């Protein structure tokens, strides 16, 4: 009976997840024309062509820093905000409602708004700083591709914080208050309670949010494409935007398919290592 109830989900996963993955793997080892027609088996030629592309190293480095910075900082800030929102204060419900807006709003809209905010000629950020007398002349916040990439990461962190916050907050609200009361009676400090009660009990929620966050951020497309489209010369591209441009602009569908498989394998390895590390730590506790 349990398998009968699980059957619809298994069928949907098989049709819409497993089967497309198999197709993409097969395509990555096949010759693909510019029109998308899959030809004969060619081995690892698509993979060697993808790795040999001039922008491959830059794109991989950008992808690494993009995932590390967005996931790491959004997780840290999300934990801090969740701890604050878990406390009783006036207007807490309103703050919680407002916090969900960046996550609920389309990423294209978010990126477009931030594009407008940091404009050199008429951006809101320059206008605010000028009106407050903090600066005397407008600053070009997009003077180099390194700064543009930092802005992309900042927008990614901004829109990801609500997801982490509410995942952690759900874990915090499941903790019994009697544990904190017993700790206070024993003279435990806030720091001790945080590292020996709060974080260990929140770890399951944090594990789920981190794994999902890695997947979402790695596969994030709208922010980078809307803000820079990878310009100049793929200097601000990540793997997802790069393989899109490679496939639909440069018509190199074979290497683009190989890159998608490489990204899938990287995600599986990272998620697997993280899950194994966390579960091993839980077993030793």
Provide the pLDDT for residue 282.
61
C-beta atoms surrounding 122 within 10 Å: 9
- Domain parsing of the chain, residue ranges: 42-284
What is the value of pTM for the model shown? 0.90
Provide the pLDDT for residue 7.
93
Exposure class string for 26-62: b at 16+ Cβ within 10 A, else e: ebbbbebeeeeeeeeeeeebbbebbeebebbebbbeb
Provide the pLDDT for residue 279.
67
Provide the pLDDT for residue 285.
55
How far is the C-alpha of 254 from the C-alpha of 246, rounded, in Å? 9
Q: Give the domain 42-284 fold.
A: MetI-like fold (1.10.3720)
Q: What angle in degrees, to the nearest 10, is found between the helix axes of 253-284 and 199-218?
A: 180
- Longest Cα–Cα distance of the chain, Å, equals 72
Question: DSSP per residue over 115-144, as a string?
Answer: HHHT-TTT-HHHHHHHHTTS-SS---TTSS
Provide the pLDDT for residue 60.
94
> Per-residue pLDDT tens for 204-226?
888 888 888 999 999 999 999 99
Q: Which residues of the chain have pLDDT under 50?
A: none
**8 close to 15: Cβ distance less than 8 angstroms:** no
Provide the pLDDT for residue 166.
92
Provide the pLDDT for residue 284.
58
Provide the pLDDT for residue 187.
85
């Amino acid at each position: 009976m349990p398998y009968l109830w699980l059957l619809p989900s298994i069928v949907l996963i098989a049709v819409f997840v497993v089967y497309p993955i198999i197709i993409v793997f097969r395509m990555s080892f096949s010759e693909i024309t510019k029109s998308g027609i899959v030809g004969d088996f060619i081995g690892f030629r698509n993979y060697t062509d993808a790795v040999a592309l001039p922008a491959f190293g830059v794109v991989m480095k950008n992808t690494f820093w993009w995932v590390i910075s967005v996931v790491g900082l959004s997780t840290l800030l999300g934990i801090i905000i969740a701890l604050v929102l878990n406390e009783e204060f006036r207007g807490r419900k309103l703050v919680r409602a407002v916090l969900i807006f960046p996550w609920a709003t389309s990423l294209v809209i978010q990126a477009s708004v931030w594009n407008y905010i940091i404009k050199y000629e008429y951006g809101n950020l320059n206008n605010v700083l000028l009106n407050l007398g903090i600066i005397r002349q407008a600053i070009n916040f997009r003077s180099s591709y390194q700064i543009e990439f930092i802005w992309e990461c900042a927008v990614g962190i901004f829109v990801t914080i609500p997801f982490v916050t509410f995942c952690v907050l759900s874990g915090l609200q499941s903790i019994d208050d009697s544990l904190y009361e017993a700790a206070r009676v024993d003279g435990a400090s806030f720091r001790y309670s945080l590292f020996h009660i709060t974080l260990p009990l929140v770890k399951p929620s944090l594990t789920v949010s981190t794994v999902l966050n890695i997947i979402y951020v790695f596969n994030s497309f709208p922010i980078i494409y809307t803000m820079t489209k990878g310009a100049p010369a793929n200097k601000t591209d990540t793997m997802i935007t790069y393989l899109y441009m490679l496939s639909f602009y440069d018509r190199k569908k074979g290497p683009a398919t190989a890159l998608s498989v490489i990204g899938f394998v990287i995600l599986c390895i990272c998620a697997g290592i993280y899950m194994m590390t966390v579960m091993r730590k839980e077993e030793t506790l």
